[in-house]
């Protein structure tokens, strides 16, 4: 069932491919704990790839290029490129080219650009915390541990959208990265009540501004 649903995911969104390695890791973990038959669970995990292969096959027939979804990324805006851009390059572009050159007199673009960047930094940091959690105690610092399959999904689902060279739309891309929300909830619960209240206030204000801009037709994510 996981393989079938994973296939539907990768057929509709390229980020669905992140489920594939996560299921591989989960299959191995459950086999190690004697909870599943790896001869069934491991091959089933490869079912996730069938969705992407099916979609690519349709594109090959319709437009003559099975990777059209990859080769035409740049039509969605000048920030994106049809190729693989490494994560450090995307950070560099935002810090030294985008955030320093936007028109700060035009609030909608300022808000959306910073929302994209801060969301990317926040969820990237949660990804790092997820990795550190697999190592548990480092010195006197304690990190929350997630299942390794969750961490694999978190990292890949976060990185795949950035390969286009942009953090554009990151606020909605991260909505499906559920392990990051688990981590944020656990870490936030350990903060003082006042700091929790300030964070919630900031999030509510950001949501309110985003909603007001969206209903007026401005780009939010």
Q: What is the pLDDT of residues 58-106, one digit of tens each?
A: 989 998 888 887 777 766 665 666 667 788 888 988 888 888 888 899 9
> Domain boundary at 40, 71, 102, which?
71
Q: Is there a contact between 77 and 168 (Cβ–Cβ < 8 Å)?
A: yes
Tally of domains in the chain: 2
Q: What is the pLDDT of residues 161-202, one digit of tens each?
A: 888 888 888 999 999 999 999 999 999 999 999 999 999 999
Q: What is the pLDDT of residues 150-167, one digit of tens each?
A: 999 999 999 998 888 888
CA-nearest of 48, 31, 49, 32 to 40 is 31
**50 in the same domain as 113:** no
**149 in the same domain as 114:** yes
**126 in the same domain as 62:** no
Compute the distance between CA of residue 55 and CA of residue 68 in angstroms, rounded to an integer. 10
What global pTM score does this model have?
0.88
**197 in the same domain as 132:** yes
**77 in the same domain as 171:** yes
In this structure, what DSSP letter does residue 16 have?
Answer: G
| Alpha helices (runs of H) in the chain, residue ranges in sequence order | 2-12, 19-32, 38-45, 48-63, 68-71, 87-93, 107-134, 148-162, 170-173, 178-189, 193-215
Residue with tokens 């739309």: 169
């Amino acid at each position: 069932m996981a393989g079938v649903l994973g296939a539907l995911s990768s057929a509709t969104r390229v980020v669905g491919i992140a489920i594939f390695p996560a299921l591989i890791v989960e299959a191995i973990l459950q086999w190690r704990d004697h909870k599943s038959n790896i001869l069934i669970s491991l091959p089933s995990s490869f079912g996730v790839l069938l969705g992407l292969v099916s979609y690519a096959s349709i594109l090959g027939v319709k437009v003559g290029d099975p990777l059209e979804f990859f080769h035409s990324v740049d039509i969605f805006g000048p920030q994106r490129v049809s190729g693989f851009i490494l994560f450090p390059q995307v950070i560099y572009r935002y810090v030294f080219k985008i955030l320093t050159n936007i028109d700060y007199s035009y609030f909608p673009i300022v808000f959306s650009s910073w929302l994209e960047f801060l969301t990317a930094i926040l969820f990237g940091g949660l990804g790092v915390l997820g990795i550190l959690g697999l190592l548990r105690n480092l010195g006197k610092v304690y990190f929350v541990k997630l299942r390794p399959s969750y961490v694999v999904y978190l990292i890949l689902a976060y990185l795949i959208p950035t390969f286009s060279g942009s953090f554009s739309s990151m606020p909605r891309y991260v909505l499906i990265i559920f392990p990051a929300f688990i981590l944020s909830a656990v870490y936030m619960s350990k903060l003082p009540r006042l700091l929790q209240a300030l964070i919630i206030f900031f999030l509510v204000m950001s949501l309110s501004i985003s909603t007001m801009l969206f209903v007026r037709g401005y780009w939010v994510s």
